[in-house]
A and B are shown apart, each in its own frame.
Chain A
């Protein structure tokens, strides 16, 4: 080979110099969340000033913008510069900039596999995937609870059809905030914490492929969250989470917060997914064949592909909304040569894969937990993987079922009805695998298992009702009603969030070395499961009785049912509160240690200490057998954690690429 592949000296991250010693400056002089906030404020002021200048009537720069009564430029540029300022304040650009001008790295952010002790690291731009995982976990719980509070607001308002707690303006803001925050931020509720933390551990890697990309993907989420919330300060947005044009184009400046936040979250999704894909393809330990990949990793890879392929369309759509709102383009105005259908197609081309971004991680967690708690191998491993791949592929071919009533070409309806119903075949695989694993198993009703079982129950109802809305004649009645709302809450809240809870109870001992209180966990489970079903099951009936979604007022004869739902939803909220209490109580106050392998799992992540040491593994392990070989008396251990030196280089020498080059 002519090209010198060995660098002259060992490289630090990003091809820089070897990592220098960590900075010893006092904490307030080091980039962290406080400098990020300062950066964001400065950025906002700069952007806002620039926007005001551009649109000022005095300067005569762009007459068609400054003469329109657009107030959007200052706020859009303010948000954009605030994001840049936030990231600069965090030190995201520091190393890149220093390398650009040829200065040595200052050791601030060069530790890719380990982080110092203490809590301060969680407030900084750290590159260790284990820190990012914890950051994501806490962040996601905060986002979920905030969005959940908005849901409590919605149900409070719907207690009565005629007496109002909120004004219609406030109500529609709450609906928009709840829907958007849940749908955009919960895309990463499992991939963020568990995907980032556990995938390297599960595939036997010391690190992820792109630590900076991964850390950036997390630090964009607080931006998106705060920008979305800031919309409330300027009147919110009245168009739910879908932002159909032309309503979104005509709305007041609160709509800019929606488009900026959702667009940013789209970027975060692309980055997070990209990192996971490359990590799984390139960083598997020797012996970690695709056929030995844990189901959770399969789910993360399929989710990541969906994110990387679908989110760009969302970013494009949000960009076009902002262009329509600021630069006075007319991409979505039918009367000016655009098309409101263009937005609906763009949005749902992202939006439907997105609901599988919200479903697949749940499948992954459930199929990961069931074999451990059943003490049996996963039934039909290949079918499970095929199910996830099948859902991933098909999810790009179904989006127009959201447009059945919209007046698009009716010829396409049978096709999209077919593709939508086809997707229930690979989804059915997941149930085959779960039920097959139950056969003659030794099922242990631990808290994670309870949540996993509840997820299957909820998803069954969510999936079957999905077939109702895929059928065009039935959908003519059900579309846009509370039936659809109940359907997707069964799949997302009942599927994704129950799986998230299962994951927290299952993996928190791994991630922190601390065990959650199991008694409180059981209480939380039963309240959450019963309240959830009591909340959303009646909503199918309410929707069938003709109550449209997102209404401020409804028919009087539906008040009893709506009150029942509202009261149940408060219990559901209470169960989430109980979770937060348990989380804080167990991890902050009691801190009961759980360092071993409490579930007796064969998973590679459980073969190292809890929490995992810096660098995860002392040496890159050699994987010997699959993760689900329960019940086989003489099954080999899942991996050799201390392989003799030279195994790795021998494995590399055997790889087809190296041999082809030789």
Chain B
């Protein structure tokens, strides 16, 4: 900014090589090669896969960000490597470098380019978030969701976090509570995530759903599964001693299988469901003993810090 055009880096020694052009021609093939590799080879394997539409949206975002990051990282690295090799200090040369204080054009270009990239990324992210198909990209939207999936009434599944496990209630099937998470394919699902004790985070990795489980709060997240298969559920917010072992598996199954499973489980668990507090979006912590009693009856050890006595749990 404080520079005059005569101090332009390019206008150095008139006979010297055009360093800028050299850097550009090292950078260009590197960038193209790396971007093509990321796009074609790495792209389909990027997390979290494409089991659901939300997972797919996240995979797409990560891919776009990676493809955009490569030119920037490559430019800085190529420039720095070129400079460090080309303009390293040589023995016996005690002269200082040229007194270049700045270059208005280069500074303006840099600021413009970075600003354009950043604004594009913000617009892109907002579009991805709000686009109807992606339904808030699977992130917990709090009790009043504004981005909802299109197509039909979503299947309601309540996720209840407690130290140290997740349980799931299906209010449209009599409100039974299980430790198995089953959902049908091609059906929008609404997860109502809440907690009984401390903050947990419901992270269904392959589903591309992450939603904090806050006590007293109903945190809603959506997804629509596109493929059948197994997925892993982990707690993603440090919740005490066994945070790392708060893990279980779920399954995406065809609609008919799901209906059969739900109907069967509803009947099977009816006596236990009767003991449970009525389905609600949030539960008072004083209900924990009641829930634990029902859990104990169904053969699951009670929560409340006693889920894993006395031995360490072992992960699969």
| Residue in B47, B118, B242 whose beta carbon sits within 8 Å of that of A552 in the complex | B242
Does A145 touch B at the CB level, under 8 Å? no
Return the chain B residue nearest A382 by Cβ: B1
Does A393 touch B at the CB level, under 8 Å? no
Return the chain B residue nearest A407 by Cβ: B219
* B245 CB to nearest A CB, Å: 6
**Residues B134 and A473 in contact, CB atoms below 8 Å apart:** yes
**Residues B98 and A631 in contact, CB atoms below 8 Å apart:** yes
Residue interface bits B108-140, CB-to-A below 8 A is 1, else 0: 001100110010011011101110001011111
| Residue in A340, A379, A453, A545 whose beta carbon sits within 8 Å of that of B199 in the complex | A340
Q: How far is the CA of A425 from the CA of B77 in the complex (A)?
A: 18
A406 — which chain B residues lie within 8 A by C-beta? 140, 199, 212, 214, 219
Q: How far is the CA of A588 from the CA of B241 in the complex (A)?
A: 44
Which stretch from B171-179, B228-236, B292-300 is at the chain A interface? B228-236
Does B100 touch A at the CB level, under 8 Å? yes
* B34 CB to nearest A CB, Å: 13
* A402 CB to nearest B CB, Å: 11
Q: How far is the CA of A340 from the CA of B197 in the complex (A)?
A: 12
B199 — which chain A residues lie within 8 A by C-beta? 244, 246-247, 340, 406
Does A522 touch B at the CB level, under 8 Å? no
Residue interface bits B62-98, CB-to-A below 8 A is 1, else 0: 1001100100110011011001100111100101111
Return the chain A residue nearest B97 by Cβ: A376
**Residues B122 and A631 in contact, CB atoms below 8 Å apart:** no
- Dominant SS at the B interface? mixed
Tell which of B122, B124, B130, B245 has the most Cβ of chain A within 10 Å. B122
**Residues B141 and A407 in contact, CB atoms below 8 Å apart:** yes
B313 — which chain A residues lie within 8 A by C-beta? 553
* B142 CB to nearest A CB, Å: 4
Query: Given A335-B284, A552-B243, A630-B97, are A414 and B129 also a contact pair (CB < 8 Å)?
Result: yes
**Residues A553 and B244 in contact, CB atoms below 8 Å apart:** yes
B136 — which chain A residues lie within 8 A by C-beta? 410
Query: Given A382-B2, A411-B146, A438-B87, are A554 and B118 also a contact pair (CB < 8 Å)?
Result: no
Does B190 touch A at the CB level, under 8 Å? no
| Residue in A418, A421, A453, A468 whose beta carbon sits within 8 Å of that of B84 in the complex | A453
**Residues B96 and A376 in contact, CB atoms below 8 Å apart:** yes
Within residues 364 to 416 of chain A, which ones have a CB less than 8 A from any CB in chain B? 374-383, 404-411, 413-414
Interface size on B, residues (CB 8 A): 106
**Residues A242 and B238 in contact, CB atoms below 8 Å apart:** yes
**Residues A405 and B73 in contact, CB atoms below 8 Å apart:** no
| Residue in A340, A405, A473, A548 whose beta carbon sits within 8 Å of that of B235 in the complex | A548
Query: Given A168-B312, A438-B84, are A238 and B102 also a contact pair (CB < 8 Å)?
Result: no
Within residues 179 to 196 of chain B, which ones have a CB less than 8 A from any CB in chain A? 193
B57 — which chain A residues lie within 8 A by C-beta? 473
Does A550 touch B at the CB level, under 8 Å? yes
Interface size on A, residues (CB 8 A): 95
Does A23 touch B at the CB level, under 8 Å? no
Q: How far is the CA of A604 from the CA of B218 in the complex (A)?
A: 59
**Residues A472 and B236 in contact, CB atoms below 8 Å apart:** no
Q: How far is the CA of A441 from the CA of B95 in the complex (A)?
A: 10
Does B240 touch A at the CB level, under 8 Å? yes
Q: How far is the CA of A631 from the CA of B99 in the complex (A)?
A: 5
Does A531 touch B at the CB level, under 8 Å? no
Does B210 touch A at the CB level, under 8 Å? yes
**Residues B89 and A630 in contact, CB atoms below 8 Å apart:** no
Q: How far is the CA of A476 from the CA of B58 in the complex (A)?
A: 7
Within residues 153 to 186 of chain B, which ones have a CB less than 8 A from any CB in chain A? none
| Residue in A238, A340, A414, A632 whose beta carbon sits within 8 Å of that of B122 in the complex | A414
* B87 CB to nearest A CB, Å: 5
A73 — which chain B residues lie within 8 A by C-beta? none
| Residue in B138, B145, B235 whose beta carbon sits within 8 Å of that of A410 in the complex | B145
Does B301 touch A at the CB level, under 8 Å? no
Q: How far is the CA of A293 from the CA of B58 in the complex (A)?
A: 45
* B314 CB to nearest A CB, Å: 6
Q: How far is the CA of A601 from the CA of B126 in the complex (A)?
A: 48
A481 — which chain B residues lie within 8 A by C-beta? 236
Q: How far is the CA of A379 from the CA of B199 in the complex (A)?
A: 48
Return the chain B residue nearest A468 by Cβ: B65
Does A239 touch B at the CB level, under 8 Å? yes
Return the chain B residue nearest A240 by Cβ: B238
**Residues A239 and B238 in contact, CB atoms below 8 Å apart:** yes
Q: List 12 A-B contacts (CB under 8 A).
A: A238-B238, A414-B130, A425-B111, A438-B80, A440-B12, A468-B65, A473-B138, A474-B62, A477-B58, A480-B237, A548-B235, A548-B236
- 6 A-B pairs with least C-beta separation: A551-B244, A334-B216, A407-B219, A376-B97, A438-B83, A473-B137
What is the interface of chain B, defined by CB distance below 8 A to chain A? Answer: 1-3, 9, 12, 19, 46-48, 54-55, 57-58, 60-62, 65-66, 69, 72-73, 76-77, 79-80, 83-84, 87-90, 93, 95-103, 106-107, 110-111, 114-115, 118, 121-122, 124-126, 128-130, 134, 136-143, 145-147, 193, 197-199, 201, 203, 205, 208-212, 214-217, 219-220, 232, 234-245, 284-285, 312-316
**Besides A440-B19, A460-B76, A473-B128, 4 other CB < 8 A contacts?**
A407-B212, A425-B114, A481-B236, A552-B245
